[in-house]
Structure 1
Amino acid sequence: MTNPTSTSAGPLAGRREWTALTVLMLPLLLVSMDVSVLYFAIPSISADLEPSGTQQLWIFDIYAFVLAGLLMTMGSLGDRIGHRRLLVIGAAAFGAASLVAAYANSAETLIAARAVLGIGGATLMPSTMALLRTMFTDPGQRAKAIGLWSGVMTAGIALGSVMSGVLVEHFWWGSVFLVNLPAMALLLLLGPLLLPESRNPSPGRFDWLSVPLSMAAVLPVIYGLKEIPSEGWNVLYVLSITVGLLFAALFVHRQRTTASAMIDPALFRNRGFAPSVALNLVSAFGILGSAYFTTQYLQSVLGKSALESALWALLPSVPIGAAAPIATALVQKGVNRAYVVTAGFAISACGFALLALAGTDSMWLVLVSCAVLAVGGVTVMSQIMDLAMGTAPVERAGTASSLMETGAEFGGALGMAVLGSIGTAVYRHDIPSSAPDVAHETLGGALAVADQVPGLATVAREAFTHGMQGAAIAGAVLLAGAAVLAAVTLRGVEVREPVKEPEPDKVPA
């Protein structure tokens, strides 16, 4: 079987490029942290700004919605105007919005600032990966850099909640946004000096119609999938997903028929790119689908405070730092990439299998299962991201990166919806029919009225744990299937550097 390493090597990156990578990691870390940075700040915000229930939901969710909806647009825009330029614009917007959010005096202002933060985040994420692709042309160095990118991205989500808990405990809630300012200032200062410009020399006209089509495809689906775990399969959410899928079909048709597509269909003709997008989605499904249960388990089943739960949840992130470098080293030493990705999915499936063994007093087993899940997930994500970016042309690196990240957003939302629905169904089946209605909805609802019904708290915790076990079994089966899929679809796939087409004015006579 052919070893899937590159058959052509570019020039080696030096100290300048590795220093630039460090600068790029700062905004990436902060963008990923902002997904979870409000976990502990919401109570303080509610007491200070007194938002309505709907406004509170939008304060929390608007960032992720805008980020997911604009990833493809910003990836394509960066290919056209230059990723360094877009990164600097995004950093300025992110910093300004952070300042406004920190000192917001109304819920409306905070929602608007969070929306601008989402726009800035959508420019930063694909731009960092596209610039990484430009700076590291040697396949071995690029694989190491992408491994670091994957680890920082995953760690940021875990760090965000802990950082918000510590800051809110010692300062006011706006401090969770002010942390962004030094990193963005450093990026604005050093980015133009250290980062090369990267753009498509012949991008064609920008397809403005694809922008609303892409958002209409992404946002309704993400919204429906995010609401289903807590609210159930309400017809409104099913309709939202259906509408999004219809617009997705229109978006795909537009990309296949227009002369200057936002997403070039040629990307999917590179063997390995389409499987990478799909496998990245499944990996995110497993990681975020499991997080839906483990965070509630630590707080509601074990009875730990929110900050205690976040601190304990940091432990599984410790081995993540070694996962991507080890996977990269194995591939560079000749182990077939398909085997490494397959092993990553198998490890994640084992993590779900361990989670299925947890009882109502199994903190260490749950933490170990989270660590195993995360190690397998980062192993997969680092290798398939390297595969996708290695097969994509440099001039379309932003588009390729945005597709991978959009797939991860879909996968995470789908994981929480599917596994959350399985767990909720088992939970409601186990709750006695005589219990109050609120106890049938969520574990938190049951604990709120536990004083009224003797023994309800114990029954509810056991019911939630049974639901988590059922979801874990489903997750293990899915990831085991993904391991087989990876072995089949990635077999013999090599990362060959695409030949860059010459610019029209440089074609030899």
Structure 2
Amino acid sequence: MSETPDTIHTAPGPKATRREWIGLAVLALPCMLYSMDLTVLNLAVPQLTEQLKPTASQLLWIVDIYGFMVAGSLITMGTLGDRIGRRRLLMIGSIAFGIASVLAAFAWSAETLILARAILGVAAATLAPSTLSLIRNMFLDDKQRTLAIGIWIASFSAGGAIGPVVGGLMLSQFWWGSVFLLAVPVMILLLILGPMLLPEFRDPDAGRLDFVSAGQSLIAVLSVIYGMKRIAEDGLDVNAVFFILLGLTVALLFARRQSRLADPLIDLALFRTPTFSAALGVNILGLFVGFGAFLFVAQYLQLVLGLSPFVAGLWSVPTGVAMVLGSILVPSLAARYAASNLIAAGFVLTAIGFAICTQVETTSSPLLVTTGLVVLCLGFAPVGTLTTDLIVGSAPPERAGAASAISETSFEFGGALGIAVLGSMLTAAYRSRMDAVVVTGLPEETVAAARQTLGGAVAIAEELPGEQSERLLSAARDVFTNSFAFTASICVALSLLTALLAFLLLRKATGDGADNDPVIADEAEASAKAG
């Protein structure tokens, strides 16, 4: 008999052995690469621009297509893993990722690089849900699973932290494409060790993959995220609204189709599980607040403080270390405190991190903003680890791939929404404040262009004589820093509000109070009612 999302397990699962823990180390390898590939390209942009000479539109697609294809393919790949086997999908994705990395490294044109990055995105979409769903099946004991997920999340943070450092070293010695070759030896190692150490899991009752549903999910996710990105870059316009509405319409058609299929791409019954839905909502809220912050900080370090991308990357390393340590420490805290309390406390700590960022000035040391980010990351660690654990743990094992994909898609949505909304707020604050700035001695058209973005102001300043350049840069940097502090103060309020919502929603959904582990408490309560 196949489990449903309401199936209850009152007894703890068997303990994982040394084989599972070694297998977890193998699973951490592609996760590190997943996040490294998001960061190393930014460092390579100046060199690849000089070599490939892409147009402005092509450069945007080179940077963005990877994230777009990851987001659009996650749901399909997660469900596909349930059908053909999670380990098999991971191996197929690893081969594709390695081949696409070589293609990207030796791309001879902008079009070739865009194609390679698109294939990388589809391949990367197999990695996160496959690894997370394998963890769900390998670690049946709740406390061990929480620790395993903490390590899984830490591997992403580690990749994000070391990516700029390793990428910067590679670029200082080799050509721009060398950063993509980092993936090849890791994927070869995964292909060798995976079949030896990772078990295979699939849903024995899974039906055929519905390609119409797969197409609908791709269009829905891509349209919404593309529309949000347009808002972040250009503000609210007709095109952005069109794509968001298109995505939402297709999403409704997708949901309607799933409710009628015998073998849906996503089992909508998952959303009827209170723990699953509450944790998913809190996860999206957390990513909404957190992702926007890193967008602001990157601009502040490079365009206000004048740091190079490599040095700015070095200043971001402590934040990655904080996220790694926080993710590993969370499971021991979860054994003593309820998830709703830990997640709410995490958001309060996140608010303190943002509060530190409100104190930045144009002459501040990078240490100030890095300290704020470290506190922010320590606060976000329990949010990412515990909401992921609740989402995956509340789904039955044979639906682990679909649940993992939904969890990962929520990361993409929350991040895209945060960048779009908070990025638009920062841009609006910058433009309105720049409108009030009078820069004497400069042509009005020059000042008008500088009022659009700080990056535009920096580019224009490079073409001006020394005194005029310094005057424009000083005004633009002051305005951006004030706008950054203003937006950070909004994030303080949003973090505190999310802390309250997380506490109330998760406390109610998990039936907090019967046990230190709210998942077990919820299951025990439901089992008692069913009996």
**Distance verdict in 2 for CA 1:399–1:484, change over 3 Å:** same
Partner of 2:459: 448
Alignment match of 1:338 (pick from 322, 340, 361): 340
Partner of 1:157: 160
Q: Which residues in structure 2 correspond to 1:12-411 (within 5 Å)?
A: 12-333=15-336, 335-362=337-364, 363-411=366-414
Q: Distance in 1 between the 2:451 and 2:241 partners?
A: 21
Partner of 1:495: 519
**Distance verdict in 2 for CA 1:109–1:399, change over 3 Å:** same
Q: How far is the alpha carbon of 1:498 from its aligned partner?
A: 7.9
Q: How far is the alpha carbon of 1:305 from its aligned partner?
A: 1.1
Q: Distance in 2 between the 1:114 and 1:283 partners?
A: 28
The 3-state SS of whatever aligns with 1:447 is helix
Tell me the alpha carbon deviations over residues 25-57 of structure 1, each in whole angstroms, 9 at most, x when there is no partner.
Answer: 001110111112201111111121222221111
Q: Distance in 1 between the 2:500 and 2:210 partners?
A: 38
The amino acid that maps onto 2:223 is P
Is the 1:286–1:348 Cα contact (8 Å) retained in structure 2?
Answer: no
Tell me the alpha carbon deviations over residues 394-414 of structure 1, each in whole angstroms, 9 at most, x when there is no partner.
Answer: 101010011011011011111
**Distance verdict in 2 for CA 1:309–1:72, change over 3 Å:** same
TM-score (norm 1): 0.93
The 3-state SS of whatever aligns with 2:363 is coil
Q: Distance in 2 between the 1:478 and 1:42 partners?
A: 33
**Distance verdict in 2 for CA 1:81–1:388, change over 3 Å:** same
Q: How many residues align?
A: 493
Partner of 1:505: none
Partner of 2:502: 486
> How high is the sequence identity, in percent, across the aligned residues?
46
Tell me the alpha carbon deviations over residues 125-169 of structure 1, each in whole angstroms, 9 at most, x when there is no partner.
Answer: 100001111111111111101001111123323332333222111
Is the 1:94–1:117 Cα contact (8 Å) retained in structure 2?
Answer: yes
Q: Distance in 2 between the 1:332 and 1:7 partners?
A: 17
Structure 2, unaligned runs of 5 or more: 1-8, 439-443, 511-517, 525-531
The amino acid that maps onto 2:351 is A
Q: How far is the alpha carbon of 1:462 from its aligned partner?
A: 1.1
Q: How far is the alpha carbon of 1:477 from its aligned partner?
A: 1.5
The amino acid that maps onto 1:355 is C
Q: How far is the alpha carbon of 1:264 from its aligned partner?
A: 0.3
Is the 1:9–1:137 Cα contact (8 Å) retained in structure 2?
Answer: yes
Q: Distance in 1 between the 2:41 and 2:453 partners?
A: 21
Higher mean displacement: 485-494 or 68-77: 485-494
Partner of 1:506: none
Partner of 2:479: 463
The 3-state SS of whatever aligns with 2:266 is coil
The 3-state SS of whatever aligns with 1:11 is coil
Q: Does 1:438 align with 2:449?
A: yes
Higher mean displacement: 447-456 or 218-227: 447-456
Q: Does 1:477 align with 2:479?
A: no
Q: Distance in 1 between the 2:399 and 2:106 partners?
A: 38
**Distance verdict in 2 for CA 1:466–1:369, change over 3 Å:** same
Q: Distance in 2 between the 1:455 and 1:190 partners?
A: 58
Is the 2:154–2:328 Cα contact (8 Å) retained in structure 1?
Answer: no
Structure 1, unaligned runs of 5 or more: 1-5, 500-509
The amino acid that maps onto 1:488 is L
More helix by share: 2
Q: How far is the alpha carbon of 1:313 from its aligned partner?
A: 1.3
Tell me the alpha carbon deviations over residues 249-285 of structure 1, each in whole angstroms, 9 at most, x when there is no partner.
Answer: 2122222232221110121122210111111112222
Q: How far is the alpha carbon of 1:23 from its aligned partner?
A: 0.7
The 3-state SS of whatever aligns with 2:202 is coil
The amino acid that maps onto 2:209 is F
Is the 1:422–1:470 Cα contact (8 Å) retained in structure 2?
Answer: no
Higher mean displacement: 489-498 or 118-127: 489-498
TM-score (norm 2): 0.90
The 3-state SS of whatever aligns with 2:288 is helix
The 3-state SS of whatever aligns with 1:131 is helix
Is the 1:62–1:118 Cα contact (8 Å) retained in structure 2?
Answer: yes
Higher mean displacement: 301-310 or 153-162: 153-162
Is the 1:392–1:498 Cα contact (8 Å) retained in structure 2?
Answer: no
Q: How far is the alpha carbon of 1:19 from its aligned partner?
A: 0.8
Q: Distance in 2 between the 1:19 and 1:270 partners?
A: 32
Is the 1:37–1:161 Cα contact (8 Å) retained in structure 2?
Answer: yes
Q: Distance in 2 between the 1:284 and 1:157 partners?
A: 16
Q: How far is the alpha carbon of 1:112 from its aligned partner?
A: 1.1
Q: Distance in 1 between the 2:239 and 2:158 partners?
A: 34
RMSD over equivalenced CA pairs, Å: 1.7
